[in-house]
Structure 1
Amino acid sequence: MTDAPDALFELAVERHFDVPPTAIWQAWTDHLTEWWCPRPWTTEIIDWDMRAGGAAHVTMHGPDGGISDMPGVFLEVTEPNRIVFTNAFTAGWRPQKPFMVGIFEFTDDGAGGSHYRAAARHWDKAAMDEHAAMGFEQGWGVVADQLLEVARRIAGR
């Protein structure tokens, strides 16, 4: 059985945040190391050029010495609502074995808060299933909670 050509193979985490998109944007762009990976893991920014075509390279360090290196490139950066990146390329459009396209969206809810959506789209069902088995839902859920903590601090809440 082959994967449907129009399938998104998407995993997503959605939340309502009690802060405006501008606070989420500032937390995302200026405080990445505070929320990017579930604690006690830490984030090191290697290269971060937030524009379409710019490098998006972070390394995550685990408390037991584990390392997860994530070089990639930004595909879309639309302040203050949408950030899209992929690891299918590194800076300079160098192809590498792809795993996903990450999409973060912050939509104004009209009442001072935001709808937050973080999605990972994969090239095929096998990659999506692998990501789900790695703990996508829990991990990206924790990251959403950590991002909200930072955004609330920025918004003064």
Structure 2
Amino acid sequence: MPVTDVITDTENLTMTVIADLAAPVERVWEVYSDPRQLERFWGPPGWPATFTSWDQTVGGRADYTMHGPRGEKAAGTWEFLEIDRPRGFAVIDAFADDDGHPDPDLPSMRMTFTFEQTAEGTRMVNTSHFASAEALEQLIAMGAIEGTTMAMSQMDAVLQDLRDYAQGKGTQVTLLDDVHVRITRLVEGPRELVWRAHNEPDLMKQWLLGPDGWEMTEVAVASEVGQSYRTSWAPVGDTEGEPFGFEGEALLIDAPRRSVQTERMIGMPVETLNDLNLYEEDGATLITLYIEYPDKETRDMILATGMAEGMETSYARLERELLAV
């Protein structure tokens, strides 16, 4: 992950995040100056940001909203204080209410970003200055350190060309913390078709099969928030194994970019939260699946079943059977 250190200084009322990025200063400046690129990593996994206004001039303002996996929203605003292209900038960062006004019940801070060239790329130093020790402690208690670290873990995919970042690497599993996992797979095909392949029963039956020798026997798709879905598989011919399936509810649908569902193996009480995100660049689509487990033991048990290997077989079939047509 890019973050190499997080330093809290209760005497000087600051929190400093240091990240080493494998990109030149000019490229780092670019992603912090383009709201479409910035919103790919500003919110932590499961809470992507959408910038609704952007005026990166001294005295200008940017407004954004982060959307949680269960429909939650958290709004924020930046007021630009200093701009030193491409070496850095400073803003007043504040939580905002539904009307975009700073929320007086939540801490605001002056944030400075500096980008310094290194032998490997760029060192980013982000320092937040607080008005009081209580404000600093409140933000830390809200999970700012963990959230910032996980948000920055998304930057590599933004800084690099998408194919350079993911092509040929297959299905990648990253443990974000004890209960959160990120799974990524680049597929050669447009996002619209990849979305359809995840949501249309006839297409799902062609690729979403896991290892060879299995067939999908039941597909009931949730097309609206609040609806339930159900999928089942069974072995074919001499393939060993017992039929199984999953069920759950749709919590968020933002076609063709994002869907969030709960998931339970049929007959089992354990439930996960599955947050699917699709991003297209130059005709290729990066599939990113964030999974939230109830605890570390469940996470490790499910990953040990060979889940990632089965997903890779399915994704390879997706490219071969649907996207290459």
Q: Is the 8 A contact 1:26 1:151 kept in 2?
A: no
| Matched-pair contact (CA < 8 Å) for 2:77–2:102 | no
Deviation, 1:143, is 2.1
> 2:63 touches 2:78 (CA, 8 Å); kept in 1?
yes
Q: TM-score, normalised by structure 1?
A: 0.81
Larger radius of gyration: 2
Code of the residue aligned with 1:16 in structure 2: it is D
Q: Offset of 1:24 from its aligned partner?
A: 0.9
- Of 108, 114, 121, which aligns to 1:105? 114
Mind listing any 5+ residue stretches in structure 1 that lack a counterpart?
1-6
How far apart, in 1, do the equivalents of 2:72 and 2:39 lie? 17
> Could you give the per-residue CA deviations for residues 116-142 of structure 1, whole angstroms, max 9, x where no partner exists?
112221110000011111112111112
Tell me the SS of whatever aligns to 1:128: helix
1:51 aligns with 2:60: no
Take 1:148 and 1:121, find their aligned partners in 2: how far apart are those partners?
26
Correspondence 1:122-141 to 2 at 5 A: 122-141=130-149
Decide whether the 8 Å contact of 2:66 with 2:73 is kept in 1: yes
1:152 Cα deviation after fit: 2.7
Contact 1:28 1:147 in 2 (8 A): no
Corresponding residue SS for 2:39: helix
Following superposition of structure 1 onto structure 2, how do residues 8-157 of structure 1 map, counting pairs within 5 Å?
A: 8-30=12-34, 31-87=37-93, 97=104, 99-109=108-118, 111-153=119-161
Structure 1 residues 41 and 96: alpha-carbon distance in aligned structure 2, compared to 1, 3 A threshold = closer
Q: Over aligned residues, Cα RMSD in angstroms?
A: 2.4
In 2 relative to 1, CA 64–42 (structure 1 residues): closer, same or farther, beyond 3 Å?
same
| Structure 2 equivalent of residue 3 of structure 1 | none
The change in CA–CA distance for 1:38 and 1:74 in structure 2 (over 3 A counts) is: same
In 2, Cα distance between the equivalents of 1:49 and 1:36?
A: 17
Question: Are the aligned partners of 2:76 and 2:102 in contact in 1 as well (CA < 8 Å)?
Answer: no
3-state SS of the aligned residue for 2:31? helix
Q: Which runs of 5+ in 2 are unaligned?
A: 1-10, 166-325
- AA of the residue aligned to 2:129: R
Q: CA deviation at 1:37?
A: 0.5
The SS at the match of 2:160 is helix
Count residues in correspondence. Answer: 146
Measure the CA separation in 1 of the matches of 2:123 and 2:93. Answer: 25
CA shift, 1:101, in A, is 1.3
Q: Provide the rounded CA distance (Å) in 1 between the counterparts of 2:82 and 2:120.
A: 25
Q: Using the TM superposition, give the Cα deviation of residue 95 of structure 1 relative to its aligned residue in structure 2, in angstroms.
A: 7.8
- Kindly indicate whether the alpha-carbon contact (under 8 Å) linking 1:20 and 1:113 is maintained by their aligned counterparts in 2: yes
CA contact (8 A) 1:11 1:132 kept: no
In 1, the alpha carbon distance for the partners of 2:133 and 2:139 equals 10
Which has the larger strand fraction?
2
Structure 1 partner of 2:6: none
Contact kept? 1:56, 1:85, Cα under 8 Å: no
| Contact kept in structure 2, 1:87 and 1:96, CA below 8 Å | no
Runs of 4+ in 1 over 6 A off after TM superposition: none
